[in-house]
Amino acid sequence: MSNQFANLVVGDASAQNPLPILKGTIGPDAVDVRALLDKQGLLTFDPGFRSTASCQSAITYIDGDKGQLLYRGYPIEQLAAQCNFDEVAHLLMHGELPNAEELASFQQDLRDHNLLHDQVLSFYRGFRRDAHPMAVMVGVVGALSAFYQDSQDYNRDADQQKAAIRLVAKMPAIAAASFTYSAGRPIRHPDNSLDYASNFLQMMFGKPNEPYIVDPVLAKAIELIMILHADHEQNASTSTVRMAASSGANPFACLSAGIATLWGPAHGGANEAVLLMLEEIGSPERIPDVVKRAKDKNDPFRLMGFGHRVYKNYDPRAAIIRDTTLNVLSHLGMENSPLMATALELERIALSDEYFIKKKLYPNVDFYSGILLRAMGFPSRMFTAVFAVARTVGWVSHWLELKQEGHGIDRPRQLYTGPTPRQLER
Ligand code: CMC
């Protein structure tokens, strides 16, 4: 807390109602309104939480105007260029990059916990083959709450750490199985001779009748996607995980709630929606019509992959993914990809259009990731599932932070607009 106060004037302009101002390490200060209801009988009104810090957190920082993203203080560009996913996961979960010994132990933990219980595999058969992978993941991750009865004292640090590792270790297998099941192929187990990202690829694309050979360029690209999506402070899915966790709910159930929230097209579902949009546009000549529709107030259509609640500048993740996409397309001999040509032209036209400039709408992380994933062989229905695998690290980091600070239950209030008291007359 600082020794500064904000003054709230209610009624008489001379009234003094000092509210403490809280200071973070960087970013906007926060007016502490916790005592407002008790002292003034007033609530704050902020639907959508545009001006509300719902918690304090030391994990991730975003400066939306600068287009800056930091994990535990490190710029995302440096982490993406110099670290592997396991190091970034350790950084987010434990606060520091690991030394060689810590990294080896963390990786061993991930390997020790990456298998799915045989009974979990039988859940898949209860789903329709055409079920969306995110629907399957919501179900399977929630169902894991019924396992691990011997380590469910989540007030104990050891049980918290074990649940966190289990979630990060198993999520690639859970996501990959939701795809292989829908494709009618046998579910593949992790291969402990491979790293986290390569393992995900082999579980997704490996076939029972031939060895899977990891393409290092593709493995690097999926690892990059995982690093870039690993955390993003109090977004809708992370806030959901935190709110569910505030009641003391089982961590697997909390993560299931996060996956359900991520699925929406305004959040993680956007990468799938971007690709559908680009396919619908078909060729660069049709872009002006689409941009016109996006600007039309009477048309609900929005340019998918554009705009962000926090970034009012180029999303730093989008720039990295655009370059990686160009690299992977060239590696695969797909440099003439019509989807990429359409996306680049759409970006060019939108960024020079008054509407997008004025509203500060820039490409977000989802704008190019769908093209990249498609080129690597992921079906569009798996795009958000890949995002969920990557974001699991962020969700568990926030879950650990919340458990460790002993947070009480979240309970927002409301501005009631329903009927005043009335009598039932019969
Ligand atoms: N295309 C056209 N107009 C847009 C767009 C867009 N993509 N995004 C925002 N606007 C307009 C919107 O119509 C509104 O105009 P006006 O002020 O005239 O009513 C203004 O910009 C502000 O929009 P908003 O909905 O109040 O902004 P928000 O901060 O609440 O929404 C958003 C952020 C990401 C939901 C929104 O930009 C959007 O729907 N984008 C498309 C979906 C998308 O790409 N989502 C992925 C988000 S990044 C990944 C993640 O974090 O999960």
In tens, the pLDDT along 189-245 reads: 999 999 999 999 999 999 999 999 999 999 999 999 999 999 999 999 999 999 999
Residues with CB under 6 A from ligand 1: 232, 235, 266-268, 270, 294, 302-309, 359, 361, 364-366
Question: Using CA positions, which residue lies closest to atom 47 of ligand 1?
Answer: 267
Question: Using CA positions, which residue lies closest to atom 50 of ligand 1?
Answer: 267
Name 106's Cβ contacts closer than 8 Å, sequence gap at least 6.
86, 89, 90, 98
Q: What does the DSSP assignment read for 181-235?
A: HHTT-PPPPP-TTS-HHHHHHHHHH-BTTB-----HHHHHHHHHHHHHHS--SS-
pLDDT tens digits, 372-397: 999 999 999 999 999 999 999 999 99
Average pLDDT over residues 118-126: 92
Residue 210 pairs in a beta bridge with 207
Burial of 331 (0-12, 13-18, 19+ CB in 10 A): middle
- What span, in angstroms and rounded, lies between the C-alpha atoms of 188 and 55? 40
Atom of ligand 1 nearest to the CA of 232: 51
Residue 282 has pLDDT above 90, yes or no: no
CB of 398 closer than 8 Å to CB of 164: no
Question: Using CA positions, which residue lies closest to atom 17 of ligand 1?
Answer: 359
Print burial letters for 368-391: b (CB count within 10 Å at least 16), e (below 16).
bbbbbbbbbebebbbbbbbbbbbb
pLDDT at 47: 94
Name 121's Cβ contacts closer than 8 Å, sequence gap at least 6.
177, 187
Q: Distance from the CA of 361 to the center of ligand 1, in angstroms?
A: 8
pLDDT at 221: 97
Pairing state between β 68-71 and 5-7: unpaired
- What span, in angstroms and rounded, lies between the C-alpha atoms of 254 and 395? 9
Question: Using CA positions, which residue lies closest to atom 8 of ligand 1?
Answer: 307
Catalytic residue list: 308, 366
Q: Choose one of 46, 274, 306 to mutate for the ligand 1 pocket test, by most ligand atoms within 8 angstroms of C-beta.
A: 306
- What span, in angstroms and rounded, lies between the C-alpha atoms of 277 and 397? 33
Half-sphere exposure of 23 (CA within 13 A, CB side): 6
Percent of the residues in the chain that have a pLDDT greater than 90, as a whole number = 86
The band of 8, judged by pLDDT with boundaries at 50, 70 and 90, is confident
Atom of ligand 1 nearest to the CA of 262: 52
Residue 404 has pLDDT above 80, yes or no: yes
Q: Choose one of 357, 361, 362, 369 to mutate for the ligand 1 pocket test, by most ligand atoms within 8 angstroms of C-beta.
A: 361
User: By three-state DSSP, how is residue 31 classified?
Assistant: strand
pLDDT at 1: 58
Compute the mean pLDDT over every residue in the chain, rounded to the nearest whole number: 94
